[in-house]
């Protein structure tokens, strides 16, 4: 890879989201915006190795894409009809198209990025498509990179992207930041997508790797952007706080051979203190805003409890259990109850956790969820019921699709092997 190629890749990763966002506002269609941005990238690949990277590469790409947009409009028959209706001569037309695009390009780019985030996460498209579109348009990832991240085929990801952009276009979804009740509804979708990306990096659902650090970093980047664009939304800061603190543990979550290291076994000296500080500050911002903490804020508070303990045995499990109680009140779900069972077992003894697990064991959402038998095995082990624990760990190992996690569960099932 040449120096020019590396520079172009770096510029694209930094500038592509802003470029596509601005073009989407101009054209009203994210698919067209991405095509125009890609056209500009092709021109850069052809010219920059000879001319060098411009002083302001983002502006260069925008100007190039804008010219391509104007050329495209000229070729379209609908545009020709519009020209006959609104312009008497070519000069007037050229002035109109230039002024329109210049005005659009000069608008605040922050609003464009925020609108792009909400467009990528529109509820009209599936959750999988939202994730793929967000990583494609906001993260600058290629179709192949997204496919590898989620262990899917490139063809499947490509189809999701095409269908998502077509759905948005056909439904004439406006490129804008929603308002009022729609904002609250759509914000939840945006936060969910960002956290889905983070979680897939933090604990890969399948494959040979325990973690995908690149996905965690991408989700953090998107969360920080969103926090800067929506500073008055407490749940945005709550999510950022949660991801910052959880990301602080990444360096301690793998052993020398890449094997998983569980939270209570981690060397806390390897936790990143800067990310913990950033997470606490984001949590403070969420707490300072009006209203009680939401689901992400409460989860961030739980993560902060873990971060405050220099040693695992110093963890304030009673407070964590209370925070899970609060979380279960505002966001009741079997997954929350599963985590609450862990906290209760640590705070009040394994039997307290097992009793809660008995209440949720038949929940449909947990039917094929490997962490249910894994948690049950852990609590049984703490209760001294080792044979039952081994059976649960075996069952969990048969359910997980992550190779590293399967190895860990089998070791716990056969500690003397």
Q: How far apart are CA 210 and CA 189, in angstroms?
A: 26
Predicted local distance difference test score (pLDDT) of residue 304? 98
Q: How far apart are CA 247 and CA 244, in angstroms?
A: 5
Between the alpha carbon of residue 90 and those of residues 63, 83, 84, 96, 371, the distances in Å are 21, 9, 10, 10, 67
Predicted local distance difference test score (pLDDT) of residue 137? 92
Q: Taking the CB of residue 356, how many other CB atoms lie within 10 A of it? A: 18
Structure tokens at 348: 């009040």
DSSP 237-292: HHHHHHHHHHHTTGGGSB-TTS-B--GGGS-GGGS-HHHHHHHHHHHHHHHHSSS-
Predicted local distance difference test score (pLDDT) of residue 253? 95
Q: How far apart are CA 393 and CA 409, in angstroms?
A: 5
3-state helix, strand, coil in the chain (%, to 5): 75, 0, 25
Structural contact between residues 191 and 236, judged by C-beta atoms closer than 8 angstroms: yes
Structural domain ending residue among the three candidates 276, 291, 315: 315
> How many domains are contained in the chain?
2
Query: In 171-254, which ranges are continuous DSSP H helix?
Result: 180-202, 213-229, 234-247
Structural domain ending residue among the three candidates 80, 107, 134: 107
Q: What is the pTM of this model?
A: 0.80
Task: Give the largest Cα separation in the chain, rounded.
Answer: 88
In a domain, 291, yes or no: yes
Q: Taking the CB of residue 183, how many other CB atoms lie within 10 A of it? A: 15
In a domain, 93, yes or no: yes
395: helix, strand or coil: helix
Mean pLDDT by 10 residues, the chain (417 residues): 78 88 91 94 92 90 91 69 52 42 44 89 92 89 84 91 96 88 85 91 81 89 90 96 98 91 95 98 97 96 97 97 98 96 97 96 91 97 96 95 92 78
Predicted local distance difference test score (pLDDT) of residue 10? 84
Q: How far apart are CA 173 and CA 42, in angstroms?
A: 28
In a domain, 335, yes or no: no
Predicted local distance difference test score (pLDDT) of residue 203? 87
Structure tokens at 162: 């095409």
Predicted local distance difference test score (pLDDT) of residue 101? 44
Domain around 264: 231-315
Predicted local distance difference test score (pLDDT) of residue 84? 60
CA atoms within 13 A on the CB side of 314: 8
236: helix, strand or coil: helix
Q: How far apart are CA 243 and CA 149, in angstroms?
A: 18
Among 366, 364, 362, 414, which residue's Cα sits nearest to residue 393? Answer: 414
- The residues, ordered by sequence, that sit 6+ positions from 357 with a Cβ below 8 Å of its Cβ are 338, 341, 372, 375, 376, 379
In a domain, 414, yes or no: no
Q: Taking the CB of residue 202, how many other CB atoms lie within 10 A of it? A: 21
Structure tokens at 396: 């969990």
In a domain, 76, yes or no: yes
In a domain, 8, yes or no: yes
In a domain, 347, yes or no: no
Predicted local distance difference test score (pLDDT) of residue 138? 87
Structural domain ending residue among the three candidates 50, 79, 107: 107
Predicted local distance difference test score (pLDDT) of residue 1? 61
Between the alpha carbon of residue 75 and those of residues 15, 78, 300, the distances in Å are 27, 9, 52
Which uninterrupted H or E stretch holds 207? strand 206-207
Q: How far apart are CA 234 and CA 304, in angstroms?
A: 16
Predicted local distance difference test score (pLDDT) of residue 106? 43
Among 324, 317, 372, 380, which residue's Cα sits nearest to residue 351? Answer: 380
Predicted local distance difference test score (pLDDT) of residue 83? 54
In a domain, 208, yes or no: no
Predicted local distance difference test score (pLDDT) of residue 108? 41
């Amino acid at each position: 890879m040449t120096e020019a190629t590396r520079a172009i890749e770096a510029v694209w990763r930094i500038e592509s989201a802003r470029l596509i966002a601005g073009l989407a506002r101009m054209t009203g269609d994210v698919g067209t915006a991405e095509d125009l941005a890609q056209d500009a990238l092709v021109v850069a690949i052809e010219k920059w190795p000879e001319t060098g990277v411009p002083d302001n590469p983002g502006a260069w790409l925008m100007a190039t894409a804008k010219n391509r947009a104007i050329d495209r409009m000229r070729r379209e028959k609908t545009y020709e009809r519009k020209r006959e209706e609104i312009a008497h001569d070519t000069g007037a037309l050229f002035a109109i198209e230039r002024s329109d695009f210049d005005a659009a390009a000069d608008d605040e780019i922050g609003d464009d990025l925020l609108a792009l985030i909400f467009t990528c996460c529109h509820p009209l498209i599936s959750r999988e498509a939202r994730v793929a579109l967000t990583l494609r348009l906001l993260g600058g990832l290629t179709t192949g990179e997204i496919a590898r991240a989620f262990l899917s085929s490139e063809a499947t990801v490509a189809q999701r992207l095409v269908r998502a952009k077509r759905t948005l276009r056909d439904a004439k979804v406006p490129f804008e930041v929603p308002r009022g009740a729609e904002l609250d509804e759509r914000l939840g979708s945006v936060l969910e997508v960002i956290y889905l990306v983070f979680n897939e990096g933090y604990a890969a659902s399948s494959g040979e790797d325990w973690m995908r650090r690149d996905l965690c970093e991408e989700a953090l980047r998107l969360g920080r952007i969103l926090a800067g664009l929506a500073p008055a939304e407490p749940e945005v800061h709550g999510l950022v706080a949660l991801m910052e603190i959880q990301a602080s543990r990444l360096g301690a979550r793998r052993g020398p051979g890449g094997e998983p290291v569980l939270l209570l076994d981690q060397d806390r000296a390897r936790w990143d203190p800067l990310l913990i500080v950033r997470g606490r500050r984001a949590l403070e911002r969420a707490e300072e805003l009006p209203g009680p903490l939401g689901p992400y804020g409460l989860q961030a508070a739980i993560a902060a409890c873990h971060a405050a303990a220099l040693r695992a045995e110093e963890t304030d499990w009673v407070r964590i259990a209370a925070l899970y109680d609060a979380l279960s009140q505002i966001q009741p779900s079997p997954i929350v109850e599963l985590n609450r069972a862990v906290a209760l077992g640590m705070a009040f003894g394994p039997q307290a956790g097992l009793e809660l697990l008995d209440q949720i064991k038949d929940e449909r959402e947990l039917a094929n969820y490997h962490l249910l038998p894994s948690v049950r095995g852990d609590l049984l082990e703490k209760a001294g019921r080792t044979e039952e624990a081994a059976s649960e760990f075996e069952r969990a190992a048969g359910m997980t699709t992550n190779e590293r996690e399967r190895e860990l569960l089998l070791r716990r099932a056969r500690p003397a092997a």
